Amino acid sequence: MDIQVIIQNDFEKWLNAIGYAESTVYASVNYVRDFFVWLEKTPIKELSQINNQVIKTYYDYLQTRRNKTKSGSLSNNYIISNINALKRFCKYLQVTGKASIEIDLPLQAITTETKTILTKSEVKVLYKACENDILGIRDRAILSVYYGCGLRRSEGIALNVSDILLREKRIYVRKGKNYRERYVPMTEAVKEDLENYIFVAREKILSFKNIKPEALFLSIRVQRMHGNSLIIRLQQLVSKARIEKEIGLHTLRHSIATHLLQSGMTLEEVSQFLGHASLESTQIYTHLAYE
């Protein structure tokens, strides 16, 4: 069984072809790779030998495995993401005719875990962790887009500098979920962070090459930053701020939604701010706000 070819090539290409987000593809491939590393310690040598009981044994193993980067065990969210990645892999095997594996695990007991939310004080510490150099100024702008404006990962990546309407204090989201467009308001503080990035840090980055890309967030190579690059920058801030939580770009969105509800904003207003199609998607934050 050529595991590396299956994981790194065919499975990844299939996920991309289906249309999964870049971060989901990246995480799924890594989770499945971890699964096969674990399999090497078992008698399983063929895809056909993998069944629901094998997955259940792996699930039990994850619940007892120590966290490699932080103290303690793996979080429930991490375990759920692992199993969901294996479900995608099994679906890929079925669709491509390589194997027929069904995963039927009683995950109800752990899927009720709430979303990871930062406190307001933790958000302040994240902002303070930003340096005053061009990368630090860019980091602050990233926080302002994903926390201050609550954008989804893909929405922030797709932003062009022309989408930042500083005079109107709004951000034009061209590529929202299900292709819905919307305008998102920005506070004066967010406006200042974006102005500082666009007219200072971004201009300095542009000077590295004789090109003028439209993208808002630019790498040092003067190219549009992608999800993994943004996540790496966020993780560096989290580490510097000494925050002991598993945090992604979505955590910033969850956090601002909760904080807005705590501040007295109505569910309808928060739903519109987040770009939700219905109030049901926003209601998850109501109990988080009161907790």
Task: Give catalytic status of residue 70 as yes or no.
Answer: no
pLDDT at residue 247, as a whole number: 86
Q: What is the pLDDT of residue 188?
A: 96
Q: What tokens were used for 190?
A: 């967010």
**pTM for this prediction:** 0.63
Report how far residue 259's alpha carbon sits from residue 289's, in angstroms, rounded to the nearest whole number: 7
The answer to whether 41 and 54 have CB atoms below 8 angstroms apart is: no
pLDDT at 291: 54
Q: Has 285 been annotated as catalytic?
A: yes
What backbone torsions phi and psi does residue 112 show, to the nearest 5 degrees? -85, 0
Q: What are the tens digits of pLDDT across the range 19-58?
A: 676 777 888 888 888 888 898 888 887 777 888 888 888 8
Q: Of these residues, 138, 140, 152, 254, which one is catalytic?
A: 152
Torsion 186-190-194-196 (CA) sign: positive
Mean pLDDT of 268-278: 82
| Active-site residue, from 65, 182, 240, 250 | 250
Catalytic: 87? no
Tokens of 10: 């065919």
pLDDT attached to residue 83: 84
Please write the tens of the pLDDT for every residue from 191-247.
999 999 999 999 999 999 989 999 999 999 999 999 889 999 999 999 999 998 888
Is it the case that residue 111 has pLDDT exceeding 80?
A: no
Catalogue all structural domains in the chain, each as residue range(s) with its CATH number: 3-111 (1.10.150.130), 120-290 (1.10.443.10)
Q: What percent of the chain has pLDDT over 70?
A: 82
Active site residue 250: yes
Residue 237's CB: how many other CB atoms inside 10 A?
22
Asked whether the beta carbons of 99 and 93 are under 8 A apart, the reply is yes
Q: Could you tell me the two tokens for 70?
A: 């932080």
Of 188 and 17, the structure prediction assigns the larger pLDDT to 188
Tens of pLDDT along 4-20? 566 667 888 888 777 67
Mean pLDDT, all residues of the chain? 84
